[in-house]
Amino acid sequence: MKFHVQELSHRNLIDKSCVWMLGKKYVDPVEFQKDLESIIWCSYRKNFLRLIGNKPPEEVGTFTNDTSWGCMIRATQMMLSEALKRKLRKSFESVYHMRKGIVSWLIDGKDAKGGAPYSIQTICEEVYTRDKKKPGCWFKASEIMLALQRIHRSHCKCTASGLDMVVLLEGTVYLDQILNQAGIELPEDHFIDVGSEEPSEEEETKKELVNENRDRSKSFQSAGSLDAKKKLDFINVSLDEGNSKDFRDDEDEE
């Protein structure tokens, strides 16, 4: 990491380039390194208490580590810890006590009953209880986020009572959805009815080109025999004679 910081400093002297981290822009390598080192890092661990220890091993396995499969859980823990840091800065007497408190909620080997509602033990138990997905699997981001949302809403009185978690699964974040969760309603004139606006000449031209390309694609797919498709030279690949056999069509081999 020191090497990267030195490189950043060197580039700043030449072209004033910068780097972004967690939504913040940095041009000073010292400030960047300081903030980087302040991030709570949740990594793979081993030799902790067996995951979902209240279930028999033949049902859920005997995992005492998350190496190679717990990456989504760790990344989500780090994201949550950063959100908690920003929310709880004024709730602790010092930054040290804040970090210590957040880490205690994430610590491996304990569960929610033991004071660690966001630990890997708590998360794995919640995912298995709700989705019947065992430790050792590769989890989707939505699975971990929804599990953490349920966990947080059950235990936020002990951690961050004024902070809620909203999980949007459509891939697009809408401001009104966030504000509705917070009980804030925007006035109707705040929104723009895009359907009422007449498209400009440039937008009409783009629309016509898109439709024209779509029609061409449909006609090609309907006509598209194998010979016709081969006439379209999408990618030119230069192959040695020794390797060309691997790329032949099945039809040629017959």
Please provide the DSSP assignment of 179-203 as one string: HHHTT----GGGS--GGGSPPPHHH
Q: Given this model, what pLDDT does residue 56 score?
A: 95
Q: Read off the amino acid at residue 174.
A: Y
Lowest mean pLDDT among 33-47, 119-133, 225-239: 225-239
Cβ neighbors of 168 (< 8 A, separation 6 or more) are 174, 177
Closest CA to 44 of 18, 24, 72, 20: 72
Q: Are residues 166 and 199 in the same domain?
A: no
The residue range of the domain holding 127 is: 39-181
**Do the domain assignments include residue 56?**
yes
Residue 4 falls within a domain, yes or no?
no
Do 46 and 149 belong to one domain? yes
Domain count, the chain: 2
Do 131 and 76 belong together in one domain? yes
Domain boundary among 150, 181, 212: 181
Average pLDDT over residues 213-218: 60
> Could you tell me which residues come within 8 angstroms of residue 182 by beta carbon, excluding any fewer than 6 positions away?
164
- Considering the domain architecture, whether residues 156 and 222 belong to the same structural domain is answered as no
Q: How far apart are CA 104 and CA 112, in angstroms?
A: 11
Residue whose tokens read 């020191």: 2
Indicate whether 48 and 172 sit together in one domain: yes
Residue-level pLDDT at 214: 63
Tokens for 166, please give them.
């909203």
Stretch 206-218: mean pLDDT: 64
Please identify, among 156, 181, 206, the residue that sits at the C-terminal boundary of a domain: 181
Q: What is the per-residue pLDDT for 16?
A: 53
Which residues, 6+ apart, have CB-to-CB distance to 197 below 8 Å? none
CA nearest neighbour of 5 among 24, 25, 22, 19: 19
Residue at a domain's end among 138, 159, 181: 181
**pLDDT over 90, % of the chain:** 48
Of 45-54, 196-205, 225-234, give the range with the top mean pLDDT: 45-54
Structure tokens at 239: 């192959």
What pLDDT score was predicted for residue 177?
Answer: 77
What's the pLDDT band for 254 if we cut at 50, 70, 90? Answer: very low
For residue 22, tell me if it sits in a domain. no
pLDDT at 205: 72
Residue 96: pLDDT band (50, 70, 90) is: very high
Q: Are residues 63 and 124 in the same domain?
A: yes
Residues belonging to the chain: 254
203 Cα distance to chain centroid: 33
Q: Which residue has the higher pLDDT, 166 or 247?
A: 166
Do 158 and 201 share a domain, yes or no? no
The pLDDT of residue 219 is above 50: yes
Mean pLDDT of 199-208: 68
Predicted pLDDT of residue 44 = 94
Q: Judge if 167 and 220 occupy the same domain.
A: no
Q: How far is CA 109 from CA 16, 40, 238, 245, in A?
A: 46, 17, 55, 54
